[in-house]
Amino acid sequence: MNIAWELFINLLEVAIIYDFLIRYLGYRTEKKGKYVETIFWGMISFAAITIPSILVPLEVVSTLLSICINYIFCIRMLNGKRQEKAFLSVFVMALVAIAAVIGLSLFGRFSGANASELIGTFSLYRIAATIFAKILLIWFTRIALRCKTKANLTLADFLLLFFIPLFSIIAIFMLWMIAFRDSRMERMVFFLTAIIALMDILVYILFRRISADNQVKQDYALLKLQYDCVRNTSRETQHIYEEMQSVRHDLKNHLYCIDRLAAEQKCNEIQQYVQNLLEEQKKESYTIVFTGNDILDAILNTKISIAEQRGIRCSILITHPQLPISQSDICVLFGNLLDNAIEAAIKTEEKTIDIQIVKQGEYAYICVQNTISASILSHNPELQTSKRDKNCHGFGVQNIKRIVDTYHGVIMFDEKEGKFICDILIPLHTNLERKTTKLEQELEF
């Protein structure tokens, strides 16, 4: 009976933990197999918790092992950033420890037995204490779910918030080792545990506030980047317009000279003059895109001009220029895509960029390919900036993903035959949102 009860309590604890993690982060996929894999990881966690622990320190080992297993489960199955998953894996185990200590302390006082006697003796008080602890754990997790927020932490913030609940778990077990050896210390240990619990609550509140503050800072940086992109595009477009005006003015002079030579019937001079103009044109020629979408034309012509000035050959195929995207988002999306492509292609020998905007069924398909000197995804799968000023850089890929997500699209990064490939699918109609979500899940898995 005692063993069966302990197994049931451990299974209930695992169920509460996984219910909290799944509700907080959410599944990454809608495939039916997710429940089977969840049960698999739950059983592994159950085995870690159920390891016989004759000595109290083994409880610490099983708890730390459970944290690692829960983190792996979150990485494989759930949404969210790695930092958020690590913090929640530790935080929920801290809640487990705090709930267990409170349950033992309260029912130990009711029964008149100390903590070691209550744990070692199978009685109604022991049953009541464990049930109360699990109810308390459910209450703690529901409060956390009501106050959940999207994690957005720097590395320093994460390390601070991660180790505080981790150390609190270790501290609780060490305090109760003291209480097991000396029952007179139980009251002091109980109050110290309450202080640790309060500290963990404050850490969670701090986690939410820091994430919110960092999100505001990031939003500001993204808006500033959008403004800079629009401003630079406007400036570069003005430069191209001035160049075209200059070409138009020079063309009048060239035609005047040719007319004078023709009037004097100097055919050889005319032929030589035209040949010189053609040679100059080859040196100064650049691609001009006319799609009918003024904003798209402006950003493409601007970036292509920059690329060709740096010796990068551009190939363009556009059959569907009318994109279901706002003008400002078109500017930011293609500005960032082509800036990244130019930055990578300029370091290669071939120096090529391929741009494709076509219609595929009910979707607008955008593909930007550029040559690369070495694999990017193998050592930088998150596509984080390599520039030193990470506060001012590194938002390019985030901006691209944000815009694609805003229009319920799908984005994929790949490498093939020495080229970096960015594929984007955006539904042409809003009623395709649900279909696109399913498509994204299929492509991801």
Residue 124 tokens, joined:
């109604």
CA-based nearest residue to 376, from 415, 337, 334: 415
What pLDDT score was predicted for residue 322?
86
Domain ranges of the chain: 2-222, 289-444
What pLDDT score was predicted for residue 229?
62
Report the amino acid identity of residue 387: K
> Which residue shows structure tokens 């006082």?
109
What pLDDT score was predicted for residue 435?
45
Residue 150 tokens, joined:
């999207």
CA-based nearest residue to 93, from 34, 20, 143: 20
CA-based nearest residue to 400, from 388, 416, 412: 412
CA distance 217 to 109: 49
Residues 6 or more apart whose Cβ sits within 8 Å of residue 156:
none
Residue 163 tokens, joined:
């180790």
Residue 426 tokens, joined:
């955006």
pLDDT along the chain (445 residues), means of 10: 77 91 84 84 87 53 85 88 84 84 71 60 72 85 76 66 75 71 69 76 77 76 68 70 74 81 82 80 65 82 86 90 85 88 91 93 92 81 55 62 88 90 86 46 44
What pairing do the DSSP bridges indicate for beta strands 352-360 and 313-318? Answer: parallel
Count of CB atoms within 10 A of residue 241's CB?
12
CA distance 405 to 399: 10
Distance of CA 336 to the CA centre of its chain: 17
Could you give the angle at the alpha carbon of 3 between the alpha carbons of 189 and 122, nearest 5°?
50
CA distance 19 to 92: 11
What pLDDT score was predicted for residue 429?
76
Assess contact for 160 and 44: CB atoms under 8 A.
no
Greatest distance between any 2 Cα atoms in the chain: 123
Residue 168 tokens, joined:
């609190």
Q: Determine the straight-line distance between the first and last CA of the chain, rounded to whole angstroms.
A: 44
Crossing angle for the helix pair 155-181 and 57-77, to the nearest 10 degrees: 150
Which residues make beta-bridge pairs with 426?
A: 364
Tell me yes or no: is domain 289-444 CATH 3.30.565.10.
Answer: yes
Give pTM, 2 decimals: 0.53
CA-based nearest residue to 172, from 80, 244, 74, 105: 105
Torsion on CA atoms 28, 32, 37, 39, rounded to nearest 10? 110
Assess contact for 407 and 401: CB atoms under 8 A.
no
What pLDDT score was predicted for residue 352?
94
CA-based nearest residue to 436, from 362, 368, 334: 362
- Alpha helix locations (H) across 310-354? 327-345
CA-based nearest residue to 73, from 106, 104, 40: 40
User: Coil, strand or helix: which one is 346?
Assistant: coil
Assess contact for 399 and 226: CB atoms under 8 A.
yes
What pLDDT score was predicted for residue 381?
66
Q: CA–CA distance from 86 to each of 66, 69, 71, 91 (Å)? A: 12, 11, 6, 9
DSSP string of 180-191? HH-GGGHHHHHH
What pLDDT score was predicted for residue 400?
87
What pLDDT score was predicted for residue 97?
82
Q: Per this entry, what is the length of the chain?
A: 445
CA distance 240 to 253: 20
Residue 264 is classified by DSSP as T
Assess contact for 17 and 138: CB atoms under 8 A.
no
Residue 219 is classified by DSSP as H
Residue 304 tokens, joined:
């292509």
What pLDDT score was predicted for residue 433?
45
What pLDDT score was predicted for residue 16?
92
